[in-house]
Copies of this chain bind each other. A is one copy, B any other.
Amino acid sequence: MSKKKGFWSSLFGTDDNSNTGSANMATERLKVIVASENRLSNRLTADRIEKMKREILEVVNKYVNGVQIDDVNINHRSEDSLDVLEMNINLPEHKK
């Protein structure tokens, strides 16, 4: 279990070097991960991933205002026999 703990922390920590600056500015992030044993690309074409991304963005925007398409970035990578699609969503600053 301790391995997992470290993993999750690293998801939001050192892995996102590009965001270390904004992390200090209280940017909140949401992460969506899709992992499959077989090639996801059999089921998800780039076109469908793009559509899915937009729909997820719509859902997030229903709950958190002002999230832009640029705030979502997607990584697709393979590890061992796993195919992993990782989506990072930066949420805008919270206005009260």
Binding site for B on A (CB under 8 A): 3-12, 26, 28-40, 42-44, 48-49, 51-52, 55-56, 59-60, 62-65, 79-82, 84, 91, 94
- Work out how many copies of this chain go into the complex: 2
Min CB distance A72 to B, Å, is 12
| A29 partner, pick from B6, B33, B37, B43, beta carbons under 8 A | B37
Bound CA–CA A75/B51 (angstroms): 25
Bound CA–CA A56/B32 (angstroms): 8
Contact of A51 with B35 in the complex, beta carbons under 8 Å: no
With known contacts A3-B6, A32-B32, A82-B8, A63–B48 Cβ distance under 8 A: yes
Contact of A32 with B34 in the complex, beta carbons under 8 Å: yes
Bound CA–CA A26/B79 (angstroms): 19
